[in-house]
Structure 1
């Protein structure tokens, strides 16, 4: 007699786990783990989940994410896209990591309004991509929390970020020398 009761209970538990683990809510940060040979995550690409089925219209149409995406020559555009198109071979996960670090914002109607406003303010904007101060992670955390953050937790890039001050100086020096070279007249002979 216990078996007929256990089967529906187990099925109900399985259905509950399946529907809750793969679901995203409007404003969630989605991380796409970009890996190389093996299973090492080199870096994460970040986006905001807006979903066509959230009931919140921010102009996304049938797109389900909003992100900063490259357009060649280090130029980025804030735009809507499809999670599956961006996913490719990446592992995809919800990554609201600042929720546990003092930036936790209660997810209520006010929060949705703030995210909608930030999306509206940035939609379609073009900008120069900067590794340390204008990238997809900072963009996503700015949209969700109003605070840009760059951590790349659990990736190979995280160790580079720990030395970001010295790396920034090296990159600034390289940029300075490249600029000087392009302004110098070259002569043959």
Structure 2
């Protein structure tokens, strides 16, 4: 579900609380002088659980905002090692937009979108539904960079409209899902695949100082993937 650490701790602590206080339910069923005190504890327990549930529901519903970038860590099982990369999407939520169905809540470059005209394509930029069963998290990693500005809701919506069904020929290195997600949020297409094996194989606009960008938002750990990817030249970000 992509829970935050706070949500995990809340659930974990509530389970411990219920487990330790479970005898209260047995005490409440017996007639004794402690009945009033026990009933009061039970009421407190019920209130605690209700508040906990409301807190979790609120945080889950507020996990993403319109325009947030969502990352999906993925792996390719190669002969010599596991090759890591991230798929990216943009959260759009319930906002009504042209070409978007009610169940759609993300915008991403994915497939299959099979067509022959105007150019052959197996992938394009489409609205889709977030698969909550897959590991995912918010990843607005360029928000901290002074040269990248998060677009307004209108600007982000306009970029989505611009790109929907018009993303051109897919390229795992030079025209991928991360290039789309960063363009939608910041107005600049860039793919860094931070902390992934795919990081060394991304192709970006030569006018961008990629090394300077990496230094500001944080360096990657070294990944020795040149030999691996020479065997799989078409592998890369999803």
Which TM-score band applies after superposition, normalised by the shorter structure? Answer: 0.5 to 0.7
Counterparts of residues 42-61 of structure 1 (less than 5 Å): 42-51=84-93, 53=94, 55-61=95-101
The structure with the largest alpha-carbon Rg is 2
Q: TM-score, normalised by structure 1?
A: 0.65
Match of 2:125? 78
Measured against aligned partners, the alpha-carbon deviations of 1:81-125 in whole angstroms (never above 9, x if no partner) come to 1112xx6x63111111111222243x7xxx111011111111111
Match of 1:35? 75
Q: Cα RMSD (Å) of the superposition?
A: 3.4
Counterparts of residues 39-188 of structure 1 (less than 5 Å): 42-51=84-93, 53=94, 55-62=95-102, 63-71=104-112, 75-84=122-131, 90-102=134-146, 103-105=148-150, 111-161=152-202
Q: Are 2:173 and 2:201, in contact at CA under 8 Å, matched by a contact in 1?
A: no
SS of equivalent to 1:97: coil
Larger strand proportion of the pair: 1
SS of equivalent to 1:83: coil
- C-alpha displacement of 1:154: 2.6
| Residues 1:19 and 1:104: Cα distance change in structure 2 (over 3 Å) | farther
Match of 1:20? 59
Mind listing any 5+ residue stretches in structure 1 that lack a counterpart?
A: 175-189
SS of equivalent to 1:91: coil
Separation in 2, partners of 1:154, 1:20? 27
| Residues 1:14 and 1:159: Cα distance change in structure 2 (over 3 Å) | farther
Q: Are 2:124 and 2:170, in contact at CA under 8 Å, matched by a contact in 1?
A: no
Mind listing any 5+ residue stretches in structure 2 that lack a counterpart?
A: 1-36, 115-119, 203-219, 234-238
Separation in 1, partners of 2:107, 2:159? 11
SS of equivalent to 1:130: coil
Question: Of the two structures, which has the highest relative contact order with CA contacts closer than 8 Å and spacing of 6 or more?
Answer: 1
Separation in 2, partners of 1:76, 1:137? 14
| Residues 1:152 and 1:50: Cα distance change in structure 2 (over 3 Å) | same
